[in-house]
């Protein structure tokens, strides 16, 4: 059941149900909260009318995400009830109707959020950005994919993919927004080529605004089958961004200096579950890389001929059936 609306109020019903119909989502309307506890758990979104907020409080239903109290000019006392039942917000209709439409539009986008994969270089110049682009390019051949630039000092992922002239919102435009951003709205707003979207910066003065990232990344995962984060190894926010990833790929050349640097990075992150090494050519073997870093080797990527020329032509790093394509396919199919 996508949406559960608990209300006996005619005005609340008449304000919410047409919005659900416009968003194309199914809604179950219940006037007795005690009879709707099973749906309370199953629904993708729960809307509690202000007229039944106190009755829901008395039932003490289990805490769950995506609960909102809705009403026409709700009184201040309703906010206390909203806090008690764990509601994320109190929606004042009709003023907040555009916000509710965005929330309803996200219902049914996907049964569960898409996968988020972080890619970080264990040492400088390891090729993490190249791998991040390759992963996104490969997956976008078949499903909606978002490549997120979390390295303010990088060249810009849109430039590496030949998408710098594409219209769309960049990080700077999202900093000035407030509140919830719908998954569909974000997917349609970023620069895009077919199934591949990219979120990066437009100017030279760049800084990753962490509060903005906290708002945007959940919407990105709801609206895409795969989100790839290109992470900066020396960013003070790295540990928090890594915690938001389902999987982490640490890219490193198989050399003594690079593996030593990678081991220090891994130690600062304090994460070994769902993390793996992607090894680039060097004098040491996979066993040495695993012993030094404590992470398993999940892929080895040889040097790819013509890589620089491909990027300079705006084609991105993934061309043909080279080492990057094989690694991207293997890494994404293994999950």
pLDDT at res. 17? 93
* pLDDT bracket for residue 12 (50, 70, 90): very high
Pairing of strands 196-199, 192-193: antiparallel
Q: Check residue 63 and report its DSSP letter.
A: P
Tens digits of residue pLDDT in 217-267: 988 998 899 999 999 998 888 999 999 999 999 999 999 999 999 999 999
* Residue-wise burial string across 144-176, b where 16 or more C-beta atoms lie within 10 A, e elsewhere: bbbbbbbbeebebbbbbbbbbeeebbbbeebee
19-34 average pLDDT score: 89
Tens digits of residue pLDDT in 119-172: 999 999 999 999 999 999 999 999 999 999 999 999 899 999 999 999 999 999
Tens digits of residue pLDDT in 268-289: 987 666 899 999 999 999 999 9
CB 298 within 8 A of CB 249: yes
pLDDT at res. 206? 85
Take residue 16 and report the two structure tokens written for it: 């919410």
Sequence-separated (6 or more) residues with CB below 8 Å from residue 144: 114, 187, 195, 197, 223, 224, 225, 226
* pLDDT bracket for residue 183 (50, 70, 90): confident
Chain centroid, CA 234 distance in Å: 21
Chain centroid, CA 199 distance in Å: 11
How far apart are alpha carbons 169 and 179 in whole angstroms?
16
23-34 average pLDDT score: 90
HSE (side-chain half, CA atoms, 13 Å) at 113: 16
With a cut of 70, say whether residue 111 has pLDDT above it: no
CB 88 within 8 A of CB 65: yes
């Amino acid at each position: 059941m996508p949406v559960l609306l608990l209300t006996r109020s005619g005005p609340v019903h008449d304000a919410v149900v047409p919005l659900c119909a416009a968003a194309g989502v199914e809604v179950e309307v219940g006037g007795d909260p005690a009879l709707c506890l099973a749906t309370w758990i199953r629904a993708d979104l729960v809307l509690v009318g202000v007229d039944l907020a106190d009755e829901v409080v008395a039932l003490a239903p289990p805490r769950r995400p995506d609960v909102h109290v809705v009403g026409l000019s709700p009184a201040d006392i309703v906010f206390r009830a909203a806090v008690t039942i764990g509601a994320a917000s109190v929606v004042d209709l009709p003023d907040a109707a555009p916000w509710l439409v965005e929330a309803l539009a996200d219902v049914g986008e996907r049964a569960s959020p898409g996968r988020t994969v972080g890619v970080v270089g264990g040492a400088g110049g390891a090729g993490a950005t190249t791998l991040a682009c390759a992963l996104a390019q490969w997956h976008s051949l078949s499903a909606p994919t978002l490549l997120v630039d979390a390295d303010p000092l990088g060249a810009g992922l849109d430039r590496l993919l030949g998408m710098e002239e594409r219209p769309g919102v960049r990080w700077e435009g999202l900093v000035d927004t407030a509140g919830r951003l719908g998954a569909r709205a974000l997917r349609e707003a970023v620069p895009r080529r077919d199934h591949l979207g990219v979120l990066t910066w437009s100017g030279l003065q760049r800084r990753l605004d962490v509060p903005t990232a906290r708002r945007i990344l959940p919407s990105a995962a709801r609206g895409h089958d795969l989100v790839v984060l290109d992470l900066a190894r020396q960013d003070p926010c790295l540990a928090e961004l890594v915690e938001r990833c389902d999987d982490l790929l640490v890219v490193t050349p198989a050399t003594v200096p690079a593996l030593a640097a990678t081991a220090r990075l891994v130690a600062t992150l304090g994460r070994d579950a769902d993390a793996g090494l992607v090894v680039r050519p060097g004098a040491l073997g996979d066993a040495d890389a695993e012993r030094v870093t404590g992470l398993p080797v999940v892929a080895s990527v040889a040097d790819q001929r013509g890589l620089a020329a491909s990027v300079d032509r705006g084609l991105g790093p993934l061309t043909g059936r080279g080492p990057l394509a094989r690694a991207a396919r293997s890494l994404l199919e293994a999950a």
